[in-house]
Amino acid sequence: MSESHNHLVDNSLSGKIKKETGVSVARCYQCGKCSAGCPVSVDMDYPPSLLIRKLQTGLPEHEEQVLRSKSIWFCLSCEMCIARCPMEVDIPPMMDYLRHESIRLKKVNPASKNIISFHKAFLDSIEQTGKLYEMGLIVDYKTRSFNLMQDVMLAPSMFAKGKLSILPEVIKNRRNMKQIFKNTLKNKQK
């Protein structure tokens, strides 16, 4: 084999997943155990095993369907699939990578935008206070998603039961948390 053959780059989406996360979709033999155990597969447009099958074909239209799917946003990273998979196909990091690519390539499924708003509001809260500040999370999520009045009547009883506090609890060394976010962003841009 010539030198250049050794350096062939696999530009398929599955090739990029392998390179960035180490997950090989080629190992999957379609037993379907991941889909059977996934707690949210019924809500997904493609259950995990079908998502993998689409990646295995390497067809551009299938890759497009994967990046535009709702499935990648429904995944909870619960790891039920990897626990059941006889081939140890580690689906959660693959889903993480696909979400990242879906945003980067501006292919996010419009029906999933609220989920992304929630993800961002959640991460903002952790970055700012080092903990989950529920009140800030709710306000941030509602502002991003424009779901301003949804569930608003629940707030008084949640305050009364002590489930919501007005002021955030803040960890001692917030600077470290901000540095973790900064480093993660820097690594992602490499």
- The site for ligand SF4 (CB under 6 A) is made up of 28-34, 38-40, 48-49, 52, 75-81, 84-87, 89, 91-92, 95
Smallest separation (angstroms) from ligand SF4 to the CB of 124: 23
Q: How far is the CB of 79 from ligand SF4 (least distance, A)?
A: 5
| Smallest separation, CB 68 to ligand SF4 (Å) | 17
Helix (H) or strand (E) holding 83: helix 80-84
Please, which residue, 22 or 39, has the CB nearer to ligand SF4?
Answer: 39
Please state the closest distance from residue 91 (CB atom) to ligand SF4, in A.
Answer: 5
Nearer to ligand SF4, 85 or 138 (CB): 85
CA 69 to CA 109: how far, in whole Å? 6
Using only the alpha carbons of the chain, give its radius of gyration.
20
Cβ nearer to ligand SF4, comparing 31 with 105: 31
Non-local CB neighbours of 147 within 8 Å, separated by 6+ positions: 114, 141
Q: Report the number of secondary-structure helices (H) and strands (E) in the chain.
A: 12, 0
Structure tokens at 29: 């033999």
- Name which of 165, 180, 186, 178 is nearest 129 in CA terms: 178
